[in-house]
Amino acid sequence: MNPETTETECVFFPKIELQSLITLLVGDGYHVVGPTIDQAAIVYDKITSVDQLPRGWTDQQEAAKYRLERRDDDALFGFVVGPHSWKKYLFPPLTTVASAQKTESGWQMQTPEPDTTKYAFLGVRACELAAIAIQDRVFTGGPYVDPVYKARRSNAFIIAVNCAQSASTCFCTSMNTGPKCSSGFDLALTELEDGFEVESGSDIGAAVLGRLTTQSLTAEHSTMAAAARQQAVDQQTKQLNTEGIRDLLLGNLDHPRWKDVGDICLGCTNCTMVCPTCFCSSVEEVSDLANENVERQRHWDSCFNLSYSSMSHGTTRNTIASRYRQWLTHKLGSWENQFGTSGCVGCGRCITWCPVGIDLTEEVAAIRGDAAPKPPGGAA
């Protein structure tokens, strides 16, 4: 896919034709992944039919609360974001990076070829496009390129969907990442009652669109699509003041608020598992019972785990408060030094899925409201 989006004229795509887009992509060898309902949540999974989409469902979200509810219409994308993010496919939770088999002539080592499955992601929101762009920098932007991520990412076809509503946990407007999709997609849809306003954002997106049955966009369609997108902006109430946030956090490492939050945080890692940008991982060797087949596996890990800061002298971050501080100061502060942007896209997942309802926007506000003087020259 093409990360640079070029301005194109929008067209109208009848809803009844959405199945033909899925069928076309499957025919082109893509594994189409989209939102489905499983265990009372909207999650991403492989789909082949439009009937697998959460037609007529919406989500209610607040700190530590997620509920699905019936809508009074048949919207296919009438919800926000659930516990899954696309990193599940681009940076899989478990990857075998090497293996060894014991043979009569000794150990045979193998390095698996990266999985080159072609994924088509249907329903990617603006904050998620921003999260993918962040992970692009993490995994492919430096001198050490992750081959697993690169193989999957370079084959991915992205169909974005502009949000027509915001949850009470969303704050993408504060992070300048949404709610409108502005770049990083092949196609972007805005859902209307009987179809979609569609914009192509890459040559491959335009080529796919050209193979579908579309109509000219009427002024009425255009007005309704703009109103739907504006509704998502207007519904957004949560905000994060990002002014000087890196120096604010790194200049307040001894603020008493870290202990307060550490006293209620469970260290459960939920926030990092659902975060679309968190990328901590660990590597371990796993063998079968006969000790004849060994795999080196990379799996998601979290800076909230005690063992994650374990070094030869022992563990560096022994308290939950120190681990929460590490997460937030990295996510909103030192991430900027490493990758040139914030590590947060304002999706709100860590607020919804924190079992005790810790809200990072409130933590920052508390530190900002009682900020200790910055060290001379600011923090590193």
Instruction: Name the site residues for ligand SF4 (rule: CB under 6 A).
Output: 265-271, 274-277, 304, 331, 344-350, 354-356, 358, 360
- Among all chains, which residue has been given the structure tokens 């924190």? 354
Minimal distance, residue 118 CB to ligand SF4, in Å: 26
Helices (H), ranges, 216-269: 219-234, 245-250, 257-264
CA 210, CA 16: separation in Å to the nearest integer? 17
Asked, as a colleague might, if the bond just before 83 is cis with ω within 30 of 0, I would say no
Minimal distance, residue 262 CB to ligand SF4, in Å: 9
Residue 200: phi and psi, rounded to 5, are: -95, 145
Specify the DSSP element, H or E, that contains 175.
helix 172-175
| Amino acid at position 77, single letter | F
- Among all chains, which residue has been given the structure tokens 């997460």? 327
Nearer to ligand SF4, 3 or 262 (CB): 262
Nearer to ligand SF4, 154 or 316 (CB): 316
Minimal distance, residue 225 CB to ligand SF4, in Å: 26
Minimal distance, residue 204 CB to ligand SF4, in Å: 27
CA 265, CA 343: separation in Å to the nearest integer? 21
CA 65, CA 362: separation in Å to the nearest integer? 17
Minimal distance, residue 13 CB to ligand SF4, in Å: 29
**Listed residue (248, 314, 258, 298) closest to 114, CA to CA:** 298
Nearer to ligand SF4, 198 or 358 (CB): 358
Minimal distance, residue 194 CB to ligand SF4, in Å: 33
Nearer to ligand SF4, 227 or 253 (CB): 253
Nearer to ligand SF4, 206 or 268 (CB): 268
What's the DSSP call for residue 58?
E
Minimal distance, residue 1 CB to ligand SF4, in Å: 21
Nearer to ligand SF4, 180 or 330 (CB): 330
- Among all chains, which residue has been given the structure tokens 């075998």? 96
Nearer to ligand SF4, 199 or 301 (CB): 301
Minimal distance, residue 85 CB to ligand SF4, in Å: 8
Q: Which long-range contacts (CB under 8 A, 24 or more apart) does 38-44 make?
A: 40/67, 40/68, 41/66, 41/68, 41/82, 41/83, 42/68, 42/79, 42/82, 43/82, 43/83, 43/84, 44/82, 44/84, 44/85, 44/86, 44/88, 44/89, 44/121, 44/123
Q: Chain-centre distance of CA 316, in angstroms?
A: 28
Minimal distance, residue 354 CB to ligand SF4, in Å: 3
Minimal distance, residue 331 CB to ligand SF4, in Å: 5
Nearer to ligand SF4, 122 or 265 (CB): 265
| Amino acid at position 190, single letter | T
Nearer to ligand SF4, 132 or 161 (CB): 132
| Amino acid at position 380, single letter | A
Helices (H), ranges, 265-334: 270-274, 320-329
Nearer to ligand SF4, 21 or 275 (CB): 275
